[in-house]
Amino acid sequence: MGRAGIRTGALALVMAGAMLATGCGAGGSSDGNRAREGGGKADSAPMPAPDQPRGTEGAQKDDESREIAPEPDYLSTFALDVDTASYGYARRSLEEGRIPDPANVRPEEFVNSFRQDYERPDGDGFSVTVDGARTSDPDWSLLRVGLATRGSDEERRPPAALTFVVDISGSMSEPGRLDLVRDSLDLMTDRLRSDDRVAIVTFSDEAETVLEMTRIGGNEDRIHDVIDDLEPTDSTNVAAGVQEGYDTAVDGKVPGSTNRVVLLSDALANTGETDADAILERIEDARKEHGITLFGVGVGSDYGDQLMERLTNKGDGHTTYVSELAEAERVFCEDLPAHIELRARDAKAQVAFDPNTVKQFKLIGYENRKVADEDFRDDSVDGGEVGPGHTVTALYAVRLRDGGDLGHVATASVRWLDPDNRAPHEESARIEASALNRPLWGSDTDESLQVAAVAGYFADGLRTESGYRPCESEYTCTEGDEGTQPATPDGTLPGAPSLPQLRTQAHRLATSTGDSAVRDLANSLTQACRLLGLEAAPEKGDGPGEPEGEL
């Protein structure tokens, strides 16, 4: 494909390079709801695990049907995650008339696909916002922990040194795969700053560096020629591509530059090493010594979601998915630039629930991002890497004790390492039970909380309607954890509306917010209801109305 022949359909991807050059609005605004909702900056260090008897709190026979175990230490700890690929791929599956594989449905990635207007910090690191509302189940509330970093300052960002690892295997010949990648790289080359550098590695059955680390300024034609020559060939050796990519990135490392490896692939590994951990062992030294993170961009109707997710999680990076032009604009206008810089390394969150007020709680998603509670302040334990302008949201189902409507509910803390000197920092916020009094679907409740709730409940609904329950451990499943459980109401989250009810709420929110992303969410819910044979909520022409049942 020559440069003159770049298709009009790919022009949305021009924002990719433009964002790297201009920032493209990577920052965010705040609606100031933190104080109103009961969140606030703590005046002291985060609350430690409460002092209380272990293993007996919250154990009630009437809770057994919920399959939510009491938490003996009342702590919840996880590594931060800003991935969104699970939601993007699920949307494409639904559009093509397929229910997504429930094993690929990660609720946190559904929730984090939507912008949240949390308060932003002044420097590196995070702000912490905690709020919530009462669900339709009178015993349960939904609690939201929101973390945010400040936006990008494009004028002050260091030069970028980007190694693009491009899958040119036979499966990439499908429209919307290699052609999309190739056009994107062409357009990015024209938009990067002259002091930025790029390298290109290709892989099929073997890997090859087709462009060593090259300064943009004065070399545009040479870079374009290399991109134009990319053509699909044989099988998919992801391991060879990742290793060659890191070798090239290390060899071309420029002092003072931000070094990233960007993997563009359908992740359908079928040659060489196909296990994510084994692949990453090969580049362990480059990852840790040089701090080079891995950003994955997934493409294709058949997509190796779990491999890409494992690679980027263990590679201290993130992953997203592109299937259409609107998503491509978001990915290359917002997501990619946010991964060039870092605001925090090894970031972890810990929520300490007050056992005097809280009977039970359940974190929605983050199953494969769990961290041992005692490792929260162990800075040798991997966390998540977070860039500028990011928000991270965690939702909890929380059951308060009788008479606990006036007590302290939880303290949420985030710990991270400075991206430059690796000095540790923490920030915290508290929430009281009085902040959970308003109804979740009420007119006075923050609409961004309602959107997050719809996304989280949607992911849980896709799992439970398919009879799936994720394993408690990332590595092993007990007999009761196997993902073949029958779909029953007992498997749903407390207070969760049905998918048709969620559909109605999503269409209402799409109208009131005017947000195209929320409109896409509503359409995906409509498709899911139809594919699952569920009764659809009232159509748009019938008015927004209220979902069936009490919400």
- The Cα 210–Cα 229 span in angstroms is 10
Q: What is the pLDDT of residue 437?
A: 92
Q: Does position 247 have pLDDT exceeding 90, yes or no?
A: yes
Q: Using CA atoms, how far apart are residues 400 and 437, in angstroms rounded to an integer? A: 11
- Could you say which DSSP state residue 92 is in? H
Does residue 203 register a pLDDT over 50? yes
Percent of the chain exceeding pLDDT 70 equals 75
508, β-bridge pairs: none
Average pLDDT (449-474) is: 79
- Residue 468 near residue 506 (C-beta atoms within 8 A): no
Residue 87's pLDDT is 95
Cβ neighbourhood burial of 302 (10 Å; 0-12, 13-18, 19+): exposed
> SS3 of 470, please?
coil
In one letter, which amino acid is 152? S
What average pLDDT does range 191-214 have in this prediction? 93
CA dist 425 and 422 (Å) reads: 9
Write a three-state SS string for 483-551: CCCCCCHHHCCCCCCCHHHHHHHHHHHHHHHCCHHHHHHHHHHHHHHHHCCCCCCCCHHHCCCCCCCCC
Task: Say what the pLDDT of residue 330 is.
Answer: 63
Confidence band for 333, pLDDT divided at 50, 70 and 90:
low
Which helix (H) or strand (E) segment is 21 a member of?
helix 14-22
Domain ranges in the chain are 75-152+345-477+493-532, 158-340
Planar angle of CA 464, 467, 471, nearest 5 degrees: 85
Closest CA to 184 of 37, 322, 292, 370: 322
| Residue reference for tokens 């929320």 | 518
Q: Which residue has the higher pLDDT, 33 or 303?
A: 303
Which residues are CB-contacts of 274 (< 8 A; sequence separation ≥ 6)? 238, 239, 307
Q: Average pLDDT of 334-354?
A: 82
Neighbours of 291 (CB within 10 A): 17
The one-letter code for the residue type at 59 is A
Helix, strand, or coil here: 198?
Answer: strand
| Residue 486 CB coordination number (10 Å) | 8
How does residue 468 score in pLDDT terms, banded at 50, 70 and 90? Answer: low
pLDDT, position 489: 36
Tell me the pLDDT tens digit for each residue of 375-399.
999 999 989 889 888 899 999 999 9
Q: 232 and 203 in contact (C-beta within 8 Å)?
A: no
CA atoms within a 13 Å half-sphere pointing along the CA-CB vector of 348: 23
Per-residue confidence (pLDDT) for residue 331, from 0 to 100: 66
User: What confidence score (pLDDT) does residue 398 get?
Assistant: 96
The pLDDT of residue 380 is 92
Longest dimension (CA), the chain: 72
DSSP per residue, 46-68: PP------SS-TT--GGGGGGT-
Separation of alpha carbons 394 and 82, rounded Å: 11
- Of 60 and 518, the one with more pLDDT: 518
More confident residue, 316 or 322: 322
Per-position b or e across 517-528, b if 16+ CB within 10 A of its CB: bbbbbbbbbbbb
- 545 pLDDT more than 50: no
Instruction: Give the C-alpha separation, 386 to 396, whole Å.
Output: 21
Residues in the chain: 551
Q: How far is CA 25 from the centre of its chain?
A: 19
Specify whether the CB–CB gap between 446 and 37 falls below 8 A.
yes
**Element (DSSP H or E) covering residue 353:** strand 344-353
Across-strand partners of 394? 145
Which of 189-203, 213-227, 309-323 tops mean pLDDT?
213-227
Rounded CA-CA distance 435/405 in Å is 9
Strands, E assignment, 257-308 = 258-265, 293-298
Which range, of 300-314, 387-401, 475-489, averages the lowest pLDDT? 475-489
HSE, side-chain direction, 13 A CA sphere, residue 205: 3
CATH superfamily of 158-340: von Willebrand factor, type A domain (3.40.50.410)
pLDDT band at 63 (very low <50, low <70, confident <90, very high): very low
Tell me the one-letter amino acid at 326: A
Crossing angle for the helix pair 85-95 and 447-465, to the nearest 10 degrees: 60
Q: Which of 12-26, 377-391, 482-496 has the lowest mean pLDDT?
A: 12-26
CA distance 496 to 454: 9
Instruction: Say yes or no to pLDDT of 60 above 90.
Output: no
- 3 CB-side CA count, 13 A: 14
Residue 301 has pLDDT above 70, yes or no: yes
> Is the pLDDT score of 110 beyond 70?
yes
Q: Which tens digit of pLDDT belongs to each residue from 34-56?
A: 333 333 333 333 344 333 333 33
Q: Is 2 exposed, middle or buried (0-12, 13-18, 19+ CB in 10 A)?
A: exposed
Q: What are phi and psi of 215, to 5 degrees?
A: -70, 140
CA proximity to 250, closest of 382, 342, 161: 161
The whole-angstrom separation of Cα 279 and Cα 276 is: 5
Cite the beta strand spans of 111-185 per DSSP E. 127-134, 140-148, 160-167
- Please compute the mean of the pLDDT values over residues 84-102 and round it to a whole number: 93
